[in-house]
Structure 1
Amino acid sequence: MTETRQVQASSARAQDEMLPFLNNFHDIFTTIGVVILLAGLGVGAGQVMTGLGLEEGEQGWQNALMALVGGIGLFAWLLSALLVGKQRRILPGIVLATVFGIATGVVLLWGYAQFLVHGAGLDEAALERTFDGVDGMAFGREAVALVLAQLPITIRVMPVIAGLAFLLPVTAYYLSFRLPFAGGLMGLGVVLTAVMTLLVVDPYLVVINAPAINVMVGLALLLGGILFDMRDPGRETRLSGTAFWLHFFAAPILLGAVLNVTQIGWTLQESDFADPQSVNLFAAMASDSAEAFRLAVTALVVIGLFALVSLLINRRALIVSGLVTAGVSIGAIVNASDLGAGAVVAVTLLVLGGVVVLLGAAWNPVRRLLLLPIPQAGPLARIFPPVSAVEG
């Protein structure tokens, strides 16, 4: 007599959000091997550089180092072809995409620096002379214009080159392997390159309006995530995975930008550059002052809005990215009540953990309530997907 067993493949409910960074434990197992292998390559590269006996910083030393870095990037690409391209291993792909992007970006930037030195004939002394005329001048449009007038175009476009050195490798990786994490990095690279281009066109405008521009960058990534989600409201394809990472990157950028605006306003004043500490967001949040309390309350309000948007679009990434800042904010508020350090930590963890557990337990009932006035079909339903009728 043959015994028939029915094994449930997954305990996930139809309306639950799938993991965009992990398939199963085999992903973890393979990632451990990839990390060990890459660490071995790094140590081996260090041994090769030592064995060559070249003087550090000299051209031959740079050439050898970049060849090894490029070799590690190439190895990461070839290994990706097997693990990501053929086997669709997500977590190892995240590691390999990161290594490939960093290694390739470093080589590209170094290559452009070589062009500047050997092709354009620029040297450190020439750059120092460029800034001689602004010594002692306060930051302002006049000082910026004076520097720009003396900088060759090959130096002025450096911010765009840096943006492209980040964007091009991750774009190539995404187009080749369709890894959602690389798609998120590609979105980050697009907005970064756009800002760097604007910086080349009018650096004074970008610096002065940095708080507002940071808000727009965060909103652009959030909108990009929503657009990808609209193409996959069922959260079943790689498009949804790419949307997850866009949301994941958008949340901390947007939260930090809003806090920055709360602290100093939508634009910087030229006087702010005389005292950089006055616009230091981290110092302000870490201080024991009324401003720290105000920033903490603002952070919690923004995270509350993140939670609302997350519920509406069925995305937990926005909340997850803001958990650290939420903890700091709750701690700052509790600390204003003059409790001891232990009590502050305890209350912070209890409040933060309680909110997350409550959201986890009541996610779908709350979503169903919030979505009552929203049509369950049409364009809006693709932005705010209805709750599945199946509820475990």
Structure 2
Amino acid sequence: MTTSETAPIDRFDPNDEPLPFLNNFQDVFLSIGVIVFLVGIMILMTMTSSSIANETSAITAMAVMCAVVLAIVWWLSEILVRRRRRILPGIVLFIAFVQLCIGLYGSGFALIFGEETVSQFENGEYPGFDESVFEGAEPTDKNFRAAANMAVAAIPLMAKIFMLGLPLATLLASYFYYRRFKLPFSVAGVATAAIGLLIVSLFFAFPYDVVRFAPVVLLSSGLALLVAGIVYDMKDPERVTRFSGNGFWLHLFAAPLTLWGAMTISTQGLIVDFPALAEGNFTDFKNPFTVQQSIVTLCIIAVFGVISLLLNRRALVVSGLVTAGIAIGVIVQATGIGGAGVAAVTMICLGGGILLLGIGWNAARRALLSMVPSAGIWGRVFPRNEVDG
């Protein structure tokens, strides 16, 4: 006879958004082992390379060790990710794989084209970049654009190639890892690396405009990842295949970029007015810690909450918790409450809001979805899974 103690666990509700990075505690156990093992290898690599006096020999040794450890990481990925489908250890191995590929790229670039270019970047310097061109420029967009073009044009070609190669190496490493192991987390690596490569390329072509329109670039990057996540969600509205995992990570990476892009635009506008900044004019910049701007911030987060409900993805809401807490704190402080009372009331409001949204998630989704067409593309973008009430 089946009792409540022996009854099988119910299948997960898709509306609960299962986590696509943890199967069971074995994943945690294996991840700890992988991290400790790789950290030990990294320490050994650093000790070995630093003990070699000749710089070229040290870089060669580092490149060889990166290649050897890459082979080990790939072998472990074959066992843990491809065969046993261990997700959390796969994420750790993927991050190590990408970092090792970047290290191998940097070492190889230094050996072929000289270590001076790479070492300058490691020291926080930018070869050929001359900031002095901005000092004598009259604070106008035309002059600043010309100065930025001159400064970027002065960067040596090999330095530009090296900078472009960093996101490209990340993109290729992420792509090949995903092709082999179908790890959902690596899709986010592919997407973010592709955006990074595009931004670096645009920066070399239009340096001043890319920096000037930084709020738009930030928001556009987040929206691009968000759309990519929605595309994967449309392939798996029931959230049972790896496409759902792909969408989860894309939404998680998109959330902070989209939120902070929207927040930056609300405080600074679509562009950064460098001529005004150069003259000390900050009138167009709104203080993010005023009551009025805090209310705007909460309204933006509320819009993101509605989108999260429609998509049945909580990442957009989670990404705004810290910002929402700060905004609530500013509003609470304006009421005259001081000291620990501000923290207490803020945490009560923020925690209560999270609880209300979590408990009423399904009911709120039903209410919102009743206003959206259930057929066609909208029915696929906003899935209507069975809810538990």
Question: 51, 59, 63: which is aligned to 2:60?
Answer: 63
Using the alignment, how far apart are the partners of 1:367 and 1:78 within structure 2? 44
Partner SS state of residue 114, structure 2 = helix
Contact 1:101 1:166 in 2 (8 A): yes
> Equivalent residue for 2:205?
201
Contact 2:225 2:254 in 1 (8 A): yes
Using the alignment, how far apart are the partners of 2:113 and 2:190 within structure 1? 27
Q: CA RMSD in A?
A: 3.2
Deviations 1:38-81 (A, max 9, x none): 2222233344345xx323x8222233234334433332222111
> Equivalent residue for 1:310?
308
Contact 2:131 2:151 in 1 (8 A): no
> Equivalent residue for 1:35?
35
What letter is aligned with 1:267?
I
Stretches (4+) displaced over 4 A: 3-6, 127-130, 275-279
1:104-143 equivalences in 2 (<5 Å): 104-117=101-114, 131=130, 134=133, 136-138=135-137, 140-143=144-147
Is residue 87 of structure 1 aligned with residue 91 of structure 2?
no
Q: 1:200 to 1:347 in 2, by over 3 A?
A: same
Using the alignment, how far apart are the partners of 1:361 and 1:326 within structure 2? 19
* Superposition deviation, residue 87 in structure 1: 0.7
> Equivalent residue for 1:170?
174
* Superposition deviation, residue 4 in structure 1: 6.8
Using the alignment, how far apart are the partners of 1:86 and 1:335 within structure 2? 55
Question: 152, 157, 160: which is aligned to 1:153?
Answer: 157
Is residue 213 of structure 1 aligned with residue 217 of structure 2?
yes
Contact 2:184 2:243 in 1 (8 A): yes
Using the alignment, how far apart are the partners of 1:366 and 1:254 within structure 2? 23
Contact 1:34 1:92 in 2 (8 A): yes
**Bigger CA drift: 179-188 or 105-114?**
105-114
**Bigger CA drift: 210-219 or 101-110?**
101-110
Q: 1:18 to 1:83 in 2, by over 3 A?
A: same
> Equivalent residue for 1:358?
356
> Equivalent residue for 2:17?
17
Using the alignment, how far apart are the partners of 1:128 and 1:310 within structure 2? 44
What letter is aligned with 1:346?
A
Using the alignment, how far apart are the partners of 2:162 and 2:281 within structure 1? 27
* Superposition deviation, residue 14 in structure 1: 4.9
> Equivalent residue for 1:96?
93
**Bigger CA drift: 357-366 or 7-16?**
7-16
Contact 1:252 1:322 in 2 (8 A): yes
1:314-333 equivalences in 2 (<5 Å): 314-333=312-331
Q: Which consecutive unaligned segments of at least 5 residues does structure 2 have?
A: 138-142
Partner SS state of residue 140, structure 1 = helix
Q: 1:58 to 1:341 in 2, by over 3 A?
A: farther
Using the alignment, how far apart are the partners of 1:14 and 1:268 within structure 2? 42
Partner SS state of residue 12, structure 1 = coil
Contact 2:82 2:181 in 1 (8 A): yes
Contact 1:74 1:100 in 2 (8 A): no
**Bigger CA drift: 82-91 or 138-147?**
138-147
Using the alignment, how far apart are the partners of 1:264 and 1:374 within structure 2? 33
Using the alignment, how far apart are the partners of 1:158 and 1:62 within structure 2? 16
TM (norm. structure 2) is: 0.86
Using the alignment, how far apart are the partners of 1:111 and 1:149 within structure 2? 25
TM (norm. structure 1) is: 0.85
What letter is aligned with 2:151?
V
Contact 1:163 1:193 in 2 (8 A): yes
Q: 1:309 to 1:153 in 2, by over 3 A?
A: same
* Superposition deviation, residue 297 in structure 1: 2.8
What letter is aligned with 2:20?
P
1:272-291 equivalences in 2 (<5 Å): 274=278, 285=288, 290=290
Q: 1:363 to 1:117 in 2, by over 3 A?
A: same
Using the alignment, how far apart are the partners of 1:322 and 1:77 within structure 2? 36
Contact 1:22 1:90 in 2 (8 A): yes
Question: 239, 263, 267: which is aligned to 2:271?
Answer: 267
Q: Which consecutive unaligned segments of at least 5 residues does structure 1 have?
A: none
Q: 1:111 to 1:326 in 2, by over 3 A?
A: farther
Contact 1:255 1:299 in 2 (8 A): no
Q: 1:41 to 1:373 in 2, by over 3 A?
A: same
Percent of residue pairs identical: 36
* Superposition deviation, residue 130 in structure 1: 6.2
1:347-386 equivalences in 2 (<5 Å): 347-386=345-384
Using the alignment, how far apart are the partners of 1:323 and 1:113 within structure 2? 43
